[in-house]
């Protein structure tokens, strides 16, 4: 089971957002993060907990291992206000996602 917190995070442009994802058991660094904007499909941001996907800016970073993971977004821009999902691939099947964190302005 993947648990994300908080459910909603209120921030202003230029601020920093810190999102958390906790696994119910040790998954090493087998974690991915996705961003989903309204009306769009999720887009891969991070894999192996801290490796940025193609085109993801350096102000977005991931960290963690084992059961606790963090996604940090510095200098929030308009495109960052979205829902973020974490997904584990360390213990499958099933592959499981968190419930999502909404970053709102």
Partner 1 sequence: QVQLRESGPGLVKPSETLSLTCSVSGDSVTRSAYFWAWVRHPPGKGLEWVASIHHRGSDYYNPSLKARLSISLDTSNSILSLTLRSVTAADTATYYCVRQDWVNWFDPWGQGIFVTVSS
Binding residues (CB under 8 A) for partner 1: these are 30, 32, 34, 40-44, 47, 53, 85, 87, 89, 92-100
Q: Which is nearer to partner 1, 14 or 39 (CB)?
A: 39
CA–CA separation, 4 and 40 (whole Å): 20
DSSP label of 40: S
CB of residue 42 to partner 1, shortest distance in Å: 6
SS3 assignment, position 68? strand
Please list the residues that pair with 83 across neighbouring strands. 36, 102
Q: Which is nearer to partner 1, 14 or 93 (CB)?
A: 93
């Amino acid at each position: 089971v993947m648990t994300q917190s908080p459910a909603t995070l209120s921030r202003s442009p230029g601020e920093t957002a810190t999102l958390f994802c906790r696994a119910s058991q040790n998954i090493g660094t087998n974690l991915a993060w996705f961003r989903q904007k309204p009306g769009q499909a999720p887009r891969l941001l991070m894999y192996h907990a801290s490796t940025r996907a193609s085109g993801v800016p350096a102000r977005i970073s991931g960290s963690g291992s084992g059961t606790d993971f963090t996604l940090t977004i510095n200098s929030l821009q308009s495109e960052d206000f979205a829902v973020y999902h974490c997904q584990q691939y360390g213990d499958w099947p099933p592959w499981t996602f968190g419930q999502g964190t909404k970053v709102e302005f």
